[in-house]
Amino acid sequence: MRRISGYIGREVLHSISIALLVIVGLDAIAAVIDETDSIRNNYQFYDVIIYVATTIPSRVHEYIPVATLVGCLFGLGQLANNSELIVMRAAGISIFRLVIFVFRPVLVFIFIGVFLGEYMAPYLDQLANGQRQYLRKGESTLDSASGLWIREGTQFMHFNAVFPGGVLFGVARYNFPEDKHISEASFASRATYNSAAGHWVEENVSITRFYPDHTEVDKQLTRIWKSELSPQLLIANTLSEDKLSMSTLFYHINFLKQQGARASVHELAFWRKITQPIVILGLVMLGISFVFGPLRNSTIGSKIFVGVLVGVVFNIFQDMIGPTSIVMGFSPLFAVMVPAMVCIVGGLYLLHRER
């Protein structure tokens, strides 16, 4: 039994790896082509390659659910076409025991996905975006159409590039008091966060103060900037919510609730991250039921096509019910669990019919 488990595990593991490599590879090639439109200033084609390569862990994390579905269909499909599954069933191995054999290599990719999504992908995505913005705009130019705008109290701030660990380039700050007239504008080439002291340190600062009849310009080599902004909060504003780690999402949800703002979008992304292992197992369950049921005698190409089709339909359903929960006001957890439970229940039903 251990040999059979290991043999099925190797086949499924190999098939999922190939599917993930192909899907991520095609997506990376398309990203390189799309990113060439952004080439300007110091951001050249070589930098595009580095940018896309740095975001590979994020792409792997994104496509693991579909790759596991396609890989399981491909791996089990090969065993079915070689009549190996029939021999295993004739030897007395139940369908649900075979499902457990398949789940073991799938769990490897689930752990990889959790590790990438929580630790590697958010950091590398912010690093890639920060480097991209820095090369395109540098430290001294202000491009209001891109970069990050953020408000704190009476201040409006713009950052050309935001790097991990609390490093900002091109920091422009505008102070508007109660009368809505600008009182001070400053620009710093760089700002770093001092975690021990809890404040930012600006470098090469140019300050312009506005008075009713004149203006004053001041230059400072460094300046202490006390702010409630933290590197973790900036990450939440730099990356889209689906790229953030679970810890950052949890922190930002609490921050938004303290500010009296709606956090439903980030709550939806948070629960999607939490329930991704269940989603993957649900898709695999459905894929396995196809191999033993409707796709038993079909070709490998048909199985892969059905797997891709199911994955696309699942993503469309998930993308529809998620925003619907935000508009209608029902629980985001319910919105992310419904597609997964549909897959699990449908898979169990089809497997039960083939017992």
Task: Compute CA 164 distance to the chain's CA centroid, rounded to the nearest angstrom.
Answer: 16
227-265 tens-digit pLDDT = 888 888 888 888 888 888 998 889 888 888 887 778 888
For residues 266 and 253, give the distance between their C-alpha atoms in angstroms, rounded to a whole number.
6
- Coil vs helix vs strand at 340: helix
Structure tokens at 173: 């700050």
Q: Give the predicted TM-score (pTM) of the model.
A: 0.84
Arithmetic mean of pLDDT over the chain: 85
The torsion angle over the Cα atoms of residues 78, 83, 84 and 85, rounded to 10 degrees, is: 90
* Of residues 73 and 221, more confidently modeled: 221
The domains of the chain are located at: 2-136+262-353, 148-239
Structure tokens at 160: 């050309």
For residues 260 and 351, give the distance between their C-alpha atoms in angstroms, rounded to a whole number.
48
147-172 tens-digit pLDDT = 788 888 888 999 988 998 889 998 99
Structure tokens at 249: 């999402």
| Angle between helix 95-115 and helix 264-292 axes, rounded to 10 deg | 150
Structure tokens at 129: 């975006």
Q: What's the sign of the alpha-carbon dihedral 321, 60, 107, 77? A: positive
Task: Compute CA 297 distance to the chain's CA centroid, rounded to the nearest angstrom.
Answer: 37
